[in-house]
Amino acid sequence: MERLIGAISLTVLLVGLSAVAQVQPPPEGSLSKLISPTSKTLLTLDKSPADPPLSRAEFAQLLVQAFRLRPASQGSQAQAGDVPASHWAHSDVQIVLSRGIMSRDRQGNFRPHESVPRTEALAILAKAQGKKPLPESTVKAILKRYPDSIQIPTADRSAIALSLQAGILPLDSGRIAPHTPMTRNTMVRALSLYKGGNKK
């Protein structure tokens, strides 16, 4: 029951994040309430044809709230040139950068409004939750069935294999489609797995 409520709360959070990209961010602390295990709001996966992708800023905010991340206690605070202090996701971006969960590009930019490829997003989720990599033999056995798996960066292969094994990565005509943006519904499934305490 606790896992079900957690998944429902995550759905509520993701629905709210979709609106954040278009309007002002919610008041401070409201996202924490949405993701609380005590939330009684009953919502399901979005059944509408539109399943919008998450931006990198929304994804950073989601990671901070879902895993209750705090800034790294040591190390320099990485600054993103395109996420000023006035940006609504500034503090969340700072946290994921300081912890090495997400990174900047070579120009030092975070690209907050760009979408996140789902393979990259799933790899970041695995890192945020501290998932142990699958054995290489298992990764190869899972991915060899998908011709486009060669497009997956080496560092992301274990996380993608885990997602395929758990059935949370929708396939496109039998293909992984690594560069497809991460969407709300896929994120709900992924977070249901990663917050369910099912560490591999």
> SS3 for the chain, per residue?
CHHHHHHHHHHHHHHHHHHHCCCCCCCCCHHHHHCCCCCCCCCCCCCCCCCCECEHHHHHHHHHHHCCCCCCCCCCCCCCCCCCCCCCCHHHHHHHHHCCCCCCCCCCCCCCCCECEHHHHHHHHHHHHCCCCCCHHHHHHHHCCCHHHHHCCHHHHHHHHHHHHHCCCCCECCECCCCCECEHHHHHHHHHHHCCCCCC
Separation of alpha carbons 61 and 115, rounded Å: 14
pLDDT at 127: 77
pLDDT at 72: 79
What's the domain count of the chain? 1
200 within domain boundaries:
no
61 within domain boundaries:
yes
pLDDT at 90: 93
In terms of residue numbers, what domain contains 136? 2-194
Distance of CA 41 to the CA centre of its chain: 22
94 within domain boundaries:
yes
Those residues of the chain that have pLDDT short of 70 are 1-50, 74-77, 193-200
pLDDT at 111: 95
Separation of alpha carbons 45 and 51, rounded Å: 10
pTM of the model: 0.68
Sign, CA torsion 133/101/103/98? negative
43 within domain boundaries:
yes
Q: Is residue 117 within 8 Å of 181, Cβ to Cβ?
A: yes
